[in-house]
C-alpha cells in the first residue's frame, strides 16, 4: 500500500483542472476540501491519496490540517507573494545564477592569486639557492657579534668563539 503525498501547486489553475491532471477520485475531493470549488493558487498544498477507497488514515488527516493551515497563511499574508509568484520565481532563479557566476569568478581570481604567490615563492627560493648578495647577508634583526659573523659589501666572514 502506497503512502499519501503532498505537492506544492506551481501555477494558477482551477480545482477541476488540477483534479483531472492528477487523476483524482472522490477521496481527492475529501482530502482537498481546503481548495475545492476555488481557483488553486501557486504555493498551496495539494494532497494525493494513497489509493485506498476506505476512510481517511491518520497521516491523511494530518496532511489535511497542514494544507488547511498553509491555505490560511497564503490567503492572509501571502496574497501579494502569490500574485507575483512568477516574478519571484524568476528573480530567485536568476539571482542564484548570478551568485553562481560571481562564485565562479571569485574562485578563478583566487586561483590566479594563488599561482602568483606560488611563483613568487619559487623565485625567492631560487634566488636563495643561487646565493645572491642579498641572500648571503644576515637579516637586520640578528646580532652579528653574538653569532660571530661580519659582513662587508660583497664579503661574508664567520668565526666561532
| Per-residue exposure over 1-40, b if at least 16 CB sit within 10 Å of its own CB, e if not | eeebeeeebeeebebeebbeeeebeebbeebbebbeeeeb
Average pLDDT estimate for 119-146: 70
> Given pLDDT bands bounded at 50, 70 and 90, which one contains residue 161?
very low
Average pLDDT estimate for 126-154: 60
Distance CA 42, CA 6 (A): 14
Amino acid at each position: 500500500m502506497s503512502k499519501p503525498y503532498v505537492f506544492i501547486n506551481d501555477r494558477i489553475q482551477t480545482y477541476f483542472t488540477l483534479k483531472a491532471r492528477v487523476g483524482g477520485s472522490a477521496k481527492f475531493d475529501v482530502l482537498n476540501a481546503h481548495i475545492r470549488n476555488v481557483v488553486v493558487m501557486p504555493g498551496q498544498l495539494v494532497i494525493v491519496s494513497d489509493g485506498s477507497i476506505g476512510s481517511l488514515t491518520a497521516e491523511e488527516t494530518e496532511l489535511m490540517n497542514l494544507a488547511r493551515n498553509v491555505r490560511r497563511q497564503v490567503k492572509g499574508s501571502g496574497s501579494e507573494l502569490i500574485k507575483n509568484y512568477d516574478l519571484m520565481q524568476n528573480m530567485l532563479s536568476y539571482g542564484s545564477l548570478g551568485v553562481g557566476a560571481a562564485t565562479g569568478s571569485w574562485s578563478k581570481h583566487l586561483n590566479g592569486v594563488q599561482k602568483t604567490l606560488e611563483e613568487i615563492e619559487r623565485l625567492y627560493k631560487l634566488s636563495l639557492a643561487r646565493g645572491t648578495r642579498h641572500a648571503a647577508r644576515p637579516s637586520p634583526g640578528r646580532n652579528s657579534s653574538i653569532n660571530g659573523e661580519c659582513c662587508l659589501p660583497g664579503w661574508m666572514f664567520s668565526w666561532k668563539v
